[in-house]
Structure 1
């Protein structure tokens, strides 16, 4: 069991690295949670499913790719690390405070104390919409492709790969559902400062991963 803990923790860190930076999808998820918690829960699951799907595809292809480039394995790791560092640098460069979306105004016709409006979007429709919006982001696919190709040997066995995927899925889902809870509880916009720090923490994890897989240098 202990030998599966390492890939599971690696998967959890990878899942958080791709999920924590608060981009457009996170803002949309928070806004959905402010309107209706049920649809936001489904939307969060949609985002996590895409993260898991990309990770599964990359995990399946990564070891195969790594086994076919073993003579230059160190250089493949270095190239993968460079891609991850580029992703992290691009994300950190954009980690500046921005104007947050306006807080939805209370509905005058709502019952006293009500702060959120309802939405006609059903959970299944919200799930499908967020799956589609997340899937068209090429950064997620590139992130997992670089990460798993560089770690092809360590993810070569079925149990290790499965543990990695469990970590990715659990971490991504936990973070997205935390955003839903935050949006539902607060009923207001998240501060610009908080958004910037999630960018820095998330892309900091990506940069740390890049350094880890690059060593030892060729």
Structure 2
């Protein structure tokens, strides 16, 4: 296998991965909130959960070619409906946290006994997986790039590129959130959390309306 073919596939994976994550949707807002509320180090599992889900979608799309896209389309509105409901549930939790009375002397950070890193990883992985768009997106790219992408080494290079692009951008988002955390008061953090929860709620409603339109 020529190194140039692997490099081209890896580059294509980087571009494809950025195409999925760069639009700042509900998951992006939630990653910003993770960084703002927990700090960069403790928010890394959330970024990894989203990156793993995007990597999995790329692998499935490449392994199945065009077979999975029609199957997902036959599921109709239900994957989107489940995703919308989950986003609304997360939005409620974020707004409740924003409205929670401040504890005297607290600096706005969450207590160390909060959800574990694995729990945050699983939560963000699940929220990303229920959205079928990346699977259809990567399936379309697999078709467009031709048969060469289905050779195992080339497919692996493409999938790794997707995972790195997704995880890297997610690290940028949680880092931006962590900068806000370091420079804000507890009151500002609650306001930002409330705004973020409102945006996530709007995203959830839009997903539900689109699913049942």
> After TM superposition, is the score higher than 0.5?
yes
Indicate whether 1:58 and 2:53 are aligned. Answer: no
1:17-166 → structure 2 map (5 Å cutoff): 17-37=19-39, 38-62=41-65, 107=102, 109-110=104-105, 114-118=107-111, 120-166=114-160
Please give the alpha-carbon distance, in whole angstroms, between the structure 1 residues aligned to 2:7 and 2:24: 28
**Structure with greater helix percent:** 2
Please give the alpha-carbon distance, in whole angstroms, between the structure 2 residues aligned to 1:183 and 1:51: 21
| Equivalent position of 1:182 in the other structure | 176
C-alpha RMSD of the superposition: 2.9
The offset of 1:132, in angstroms, is 0.9
Q: Does structure 2 conserve the Cα–Cα contact (< 8 Å) formed by 1:35 and 1:118?
A: no
The gaps in structure 1 that reach 5 residues or longer are 66-100, 196-218
TM-score by length of 2: 0.64
Any idea what the Cα deviations from partners look like across 1:6-58, whole Å, max 9, x if unmatched? 11100000000001111111111111211113442101100000000000000
The gaps in structure 2 that reach 5 residues or longer are 68-93, 182-188, 200-213
| Equivalent position of 1:83 in the other structure | none
Count of residues in correspondence between the two structures = 155
Please give the alpha-carbon distance, in whole angstroms, between the structure 1 residues aligned to 2:128 and 2:45: 13
TM-score by length of 1: 0.62
